[in-house]
Amino acid sequence: MEKRRNMLKRIASTGVNLVVLGVSVGIFLVAFIALNALGAAQKPPTISVLSATRNLNIGDVITANDLAVKTVFQDDNASLYIPGEEVTGVIGGIVAQPIGSGQPVFRNAIVAPAAEGTRLAAVLAQFPGHS
């Protein structure tokens, strides 16, 4: 009989421990979800811009394989980047400033193909070591 009482006490104390564990896990999950929601609400908006898939040097002609669309946070510099939708207008252009692999492409880093004869010469004059 005494063994049975001890066993019932152990089972009862185990049940209390399981309830405490369950409540703790529940509080953790609620806090985790709340913090994730708060973090997502504070993220700034994003935009899609063109980025280089490899290092591009001055004078390189841009091909479709040289560009990728990358999502970046919209900040004060976002207007300086070429939007991802303008990829067709950039293909065939000439690199006017070095662009690193993975770096967003600035609007003034590429010369349009129609003006390559005059504008590229003017750009290369700014970088005498690269002409």
How far, in Å, are 15, 36, 74 from residue 42 at the CA level? 41, 10, 13
> Which contiguous run of DSSP H or E holds residue 28?
helix 2-41
**pLDDT: which is higher, 103 or 37:** 103
The CATH number given to whatever domain includes residue 92 is: 3.90.1210.10
Residues 80, 106 contacting (CB under 8 angstroms): yes
pLDDT at residue 100 in the model: 94
Q: Are residues 109 and 98 in the same domain?
A: yes
- Domain of residue 9 covers 1-43
**pLDDT: which is higher, 116 or 126:** 126
Q: Are residues 21 and 50 in the same domain?
A: no
> What integer is the mean pLDDT of 76-82?
88
How far, in Å, are 25, 38, 51, 93, 100 from residue 115 at the CA level? 65, 49, 22, 9, 24
> What integer is the mean pLDDT of 36-52?
85
